């Protein structure tokens, strides 16, 4: 295990050291002490390491992650795991806005709540929020899966493309072109898989969720839809 | 009165309701959809043509055209980047997306730019192997849509350009109509084939200058502070936008005037939002000077650059380099009169073809159609672009030597006068033959 104390070394040192880790590294387990809400911690990783961050982080923690597992033992600021490609990011507390924004792959798990725009423009990532999510979540979401164990705020899935959304609680309102869809067996199976990967308790049943997705009415511009654009 | 012989007035067309305007009203009435097109503002605007160089005479002496050196190189990204970019000429190729342009066109841009010793830029939709392979220096755009955005490409880039806006549509997002979404484009953007792709107008994970600063920090951390980070803005409030970009930590600011081209935007947006390139440069330079950052944070100006005189004028007004889009496409073969017959079939004429969003470009440039795009030979087209870039440079050097400058960057506003009061006020140089800079100094 390697420990980096951010009270003593800089963010630059931490990220540079993490970037130097080779794919066949033996140093697969890192612990980061005293993050103190700093921005851009553990960003741009591209190795199968585990990085545990002992506290709250600022903006863009684990941004553009590839392969690595990043565990945040606190709350995360704006854009946690933004544009993640692969790997896993686990937030033990709450997450601010734009969690998992534009991410192409991997798994983002948020134990608490996520604020507005969770999964905005997501492009293939799986996001599981065990609490609730704020308004405008999954805006222009392209692909991947957003799972919410709690409630969703206003305008869920506005202008959504092919992302699948599963919500267990209440949805305040759906955004333009987002509709509720039938929950078929295939969806239950897929959701079960994601819930398991996210470590959801057995008491949470895939059958309790409702599925939302694109009505695909805005896919090609049409004058009669002008008010929805 | 001799009713038969009353003289008739000539039929009179309205200046307000001119033929183009009437055709647009009819088009709108028939379709119910605003007009979308490519290219930049087409209306006549105050521009570099309204400025003249004074040249040397008794009070200043010129450099010998064929003997004395007039250097043209430029270094971009000296503020924070460990690896600044060194270009042989101060003319770069602007960001144009794969999707809006064919893979052949992107490759040709890379080839031409590399041969000329300058950089080219990706666009909305990500980086293609063709353009990375053929571009010695490649700037990677970081756009609101983040289509095709991935850290491997980010690390492959020589610089990163955070796009906030474009001159053709400041405050607007993008649009790539379904006709141009081929399998490859769809796959790169992670969207179904054939649907209209909207690109957002705001970044998904930051808003405002304070967030931008943190975003830039993140990009630097990911790329280990190696690469210059540009911030591109459409010209609207250049003084404040440039100042805020500098405050946010930009190494380079790219300022794009309203004449700047676009792949596809609403006509009303192109013609009515933003300010002309000429009007944007001085406030931008002023912001840099007020912050003590002129020449430390480099300024790249684009929007309607056509010849070496335009390059020299932009540099004289304080830019460090310029970028070209439309002119580069023309050099590749866009709107070539040799294709007139095919333009006619599309209901247009060579020189006016701007329905790039339809993907039917007979020149094979603004299309994804495999048959049309195969018409463009990337090697020959790249050669034409390299030739054209050489001419831009030689022309700018010709002017600079005449003004007695041993480097293009030594051109200064004092070398310029204006032909019109508007351009004098915008460029903050005196009206020719006077000492009058409207709003600033002197008397008429
Ligand atoms: C076909 C085409 C596609 C463009 N795509 C982009 C783009 O993806 N991103 C961007 O920032 N600007 C884009 N632009 C704008 C150019 O980067 C540049 O600002 C503009 O073309 C400069 O003005 P000029 O065309 O008068 O030289 C595009 C322009 C054209 C003509």
List all residues 6 or more positions away from A121 whose beta carbon is below 8 Å from its beta carbon: A101, A102, A139, A140, A141, A142, B145, B146, B200, B204
Check the CA dihedral B274-B283-B226-B89 and report its sign: positive
Whole-Å CA distances, B34 to A219, B30, B268? 17, 11, 8
Give B250 Cα–ligand 1 centroid separation in angstroms: 20
Per-residue burial over B25-47, b if 16 or more Cβ lie within 10 Å, else e, is eeeeeeeeebebbbbbbeeebbb
Tokens 């850290």 correspond to B151
Q: Do A40 and B206 touch (CB under 8 A)?
A: no
Q: What confidence score (pLDDT) does residue B186 get?
A: 82
Q: Which of B40, B50, B5 is nearest to B432 (CA)?
A: B50
Chain A positions with Cβ closer than 8 Å to B: 11-12, 15-16, 19, 39-40, 43-44, 46, 58-60, 63-64, 66, 78-79, 82-83, 85, 97-98, 101-102, 104, 117, 120-121, 123-124, 139-140, 142-143, 159, 161-162, 219-221, 223, 226
Contacts B217 to A, Cβ<8 Å:
39-40
Look at the pTM and tell me if it is higher than 0.90.
yes
Q: Do B224 and A121 touch (CB under 8 A)?
A: no
**Coarse DSSP helix, strand, coil percentages of chain B, rounded to the nearest 5 percent:** 40, 15, 45
Q: What confidence score (pLDDT) does residue B174 get?
A: 76
Q: What confidence score (pLDDT) does residue B184 get?
A: 85
Q: What confidence score (pLDDT) does residue A202 get?
A: 93
Contacts A143 to B, Cβ<8 Å:
190-191
Strand order in the sheet with B229-234: B91-93, B321-324, B298-302, B252-256, B229-234, B159-163, B137-142, B119-121
- For chain B, 444 residues long, the average pLDDT of each consecutive 10-residue run is 85 96 96 92 97 90 84 97 98 94 96 98 92 96 94 97 96 78 84 82 95 98 98 98 98 98 94 98 98 98 98 98 98 98 97 95 96 97 98 97 96 98 97 93 64
The DSSP element (H or E) to which B255 belongs, if any, is strand B252-256
The low-confidence residues of chain A, meaning pLDDT below 70, are 23-24, 222-229
Q: Which of B260, B299, B301 to mutate to test the pocket of ligand 1 (most atoms within 8 A of CB)?
A: B260
| Token digits of residue B199 | 């690109």
**DSSP strands (E only) in B61-155:** 74-76, 85-87, 91-93, 119-121, 137-142
Q: Which of B138, B203, B261, B334 to mutate to test the pocket of ligand 1 (most atoms within 8 A of CB)?
A: B261
Q: Do A83 and B151 touch (CB under 8 A)?
A: yes
Q: What confidence score (pLDDT) does residue B61 get?
A: 85
Q: What confidence score (pLDDT) does residue A227 get?
A: 61
Instruction: Assess whether the C-beta atom of B305 lies below 6 angstroms from ligand 1.
Output: yes
Instruction: Assess whether the C-beta atom of B256 lies below 6 angstroms from ligand 1.
Output: yes
- For chain B, list the domains and their CATH numbers: 62-410 (3.20.20.70), 412-444 (no CATH)
Check if the beta carbon of residue B431 is closer than 8 Å to that of residue B287. no
């Amino acid at each position: 295990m390697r420990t980096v104390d951010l009270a003593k070394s800089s963010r630059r040192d931490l990220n540079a050291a993490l970037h130097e880790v080779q794919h066949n590294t033996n140093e697969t387990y890192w612990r980061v002490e005293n993050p103190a809400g700093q921005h851009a911690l553990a960003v741009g990783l591209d190795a199968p390491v585990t990085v545990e961050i002992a506290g709250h982080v600022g903006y863009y923690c684990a941004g553009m992650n590839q392969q690595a597992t990043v565990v945040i033992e606190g709350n995360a600021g704006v854009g946690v795991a933004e544009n993640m490609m692969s790997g896993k990011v686990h937030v033990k507390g709450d997450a601010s806005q734009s969690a998992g924004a534009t991410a192409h792959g991997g798994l983002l798990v948020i134990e608490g709540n996520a604020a507005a725009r969770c999964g905005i423009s997501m492009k293939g990532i799986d996001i599981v929020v065990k609490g609730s999510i704020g308004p405008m979540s999954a805006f222009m979401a392209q692909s991947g899966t957003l799972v919410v164990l709690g409630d969703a705020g206003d305008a869920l899935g506005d202008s959504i493309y092919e992302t699948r959304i599963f919500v267990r609680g209440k949805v305040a309102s759906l955004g333009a072109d987002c509709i509720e869809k039938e929950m078929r067996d295939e969806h239950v199976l897929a959701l079960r898989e994601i819930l398991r990967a996210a470590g959801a308790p057995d008491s949470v049943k895939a059958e309790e969720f409702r599925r939302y997705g694109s009505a695909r009415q805005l896919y090609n511009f049409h004058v009669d839809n002008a008010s929805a654009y | 009165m001799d009713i038969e012989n009353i003289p008739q007035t000539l039929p009179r067309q309205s200046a307000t309701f001119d033929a183009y305007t009437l055709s647009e009203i009819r088009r709108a009435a028939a379709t119910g959809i605003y007009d979308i097109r490519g290219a930049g503002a087409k209306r006549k605007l105050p521009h570099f043509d309204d400025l003249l160089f004074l040249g040397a005479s008794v009070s200043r002496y010129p450099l010998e055209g064929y003997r004395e050196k007039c250097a043209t190189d430029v270094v971009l990204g000296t503020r924070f980047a460990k690896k600044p970019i060194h270009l042989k000429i101060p003319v770069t190729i602007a960001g144009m997306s794969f999707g809006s342009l064919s893979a052949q066109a992107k490759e040709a841009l890379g080839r031409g730019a590399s041969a000329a010793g300058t950089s080219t830029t990706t666009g909305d939709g990500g980086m293609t192997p063709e353009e990375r392979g053929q571009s010695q220096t490649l700037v990677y755009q970081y756009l609101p849509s983040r289509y095709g955005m991935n850290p491997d490409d980010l690390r492959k880039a020589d610089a990163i350009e955070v796009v906030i806006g474009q001159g053709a549509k400041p405050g607007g997002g993008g649009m790539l109509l379904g006709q141009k979404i081929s399998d490859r484009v769809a796959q790169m953007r992670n969207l179904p084939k054939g649907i209209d792709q909207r690109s957002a107008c705001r970044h998904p994970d930051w808003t405002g200058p304070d967030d931008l600063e943190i975003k830039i920090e993140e990009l630097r951390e990911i790329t280990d502070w190696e690469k210059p980070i540009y911030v591109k803005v459409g010209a609207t409030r250049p003084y404040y936008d440039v100042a805020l970009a500098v405050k946010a930590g930009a190494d380079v600011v790219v300022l794009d005037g309203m004449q700047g081209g676009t792949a596809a935007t609403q006509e009303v947006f192109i013609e009515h939002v933003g300010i002309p390139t000429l009007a944007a440069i001085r406030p931008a330079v002023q912001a840099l000077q007020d912050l003590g950052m002129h020449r430390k944070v480099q300024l790249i100006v684009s929007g309607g650059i056509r010849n070496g005189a335009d390059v020299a004028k932009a540099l004289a007004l304080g830019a460090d380099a310029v970028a070209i889009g439309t002119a580069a496409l023309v050099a590749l073969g866009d709107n070539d009169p040799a294709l007139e017959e095919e333009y006619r079939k599309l209901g247009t004429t060579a020189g006016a073809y701007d329905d790039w969003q339809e993907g039917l470009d007979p020149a094979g440039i603004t299309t994804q159609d495999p048959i049309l795009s195969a018409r463009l030979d990337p090697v020959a087209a790249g050669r034409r672009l390299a030739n054209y870039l050489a001419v831009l440079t030689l022309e700018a050097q010709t002017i600079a030597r005449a003004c007695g400058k041993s480097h293009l960057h030594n051109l200064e506003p004092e070398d310029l006068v204006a032909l019109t009061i508007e351009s004098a006020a915008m460029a903050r140089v005196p009206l020719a033959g006077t000492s009058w800079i409207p709003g600033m100094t002197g008397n008429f």
